[in-house]
Amino acid sequence: MANLPPNPQPPQGAPPGGGPPKGPPPPQKPASMAVFKRELRRATPRRAHEAEINFLNITAMLDMMTIILVFILKNMSASSAS
């Protein structure tokens, strides 16, 4: 304790509060393509689930059209017979 000066001063570059220096961070060099791809792979989920099919596929649509066509033909034949 006897070796300390009576009023210790903070270093010249440090602010008076003793926290980190204020100001803009030092400029960073741009990342290389390998670093970018590595970070992109790291950000994507490991087990991506399959995309959900949220549209009507062609087979189901053809089945539906066939059922409607048969229904209309049957109704037309029944109405023309009477």
User: 7-54, pLDDT tens digit by residue?
Assistant: 655 556 555 566 666 777 777 777 788 888 888 888 877 666 777 777
pLDDT band at 71 (very low <50, low <70, confident <90, very high): very high
Up-side HSE of residue 9: CA atoms within 13 Å toward CB?
3
Q: What are phi and psi of 70, to 5 degrees?
A: -65, -40
Can you give the pTM of this predicted structure?
A: 0.35
pLDDT of residue 70: 97
CA neighbours within 13 Å on the CB side: how many for 15?
A: 6
- The predicted pLDDT at position 51 comes to 75
Position 3 scores a pLDDT of 66
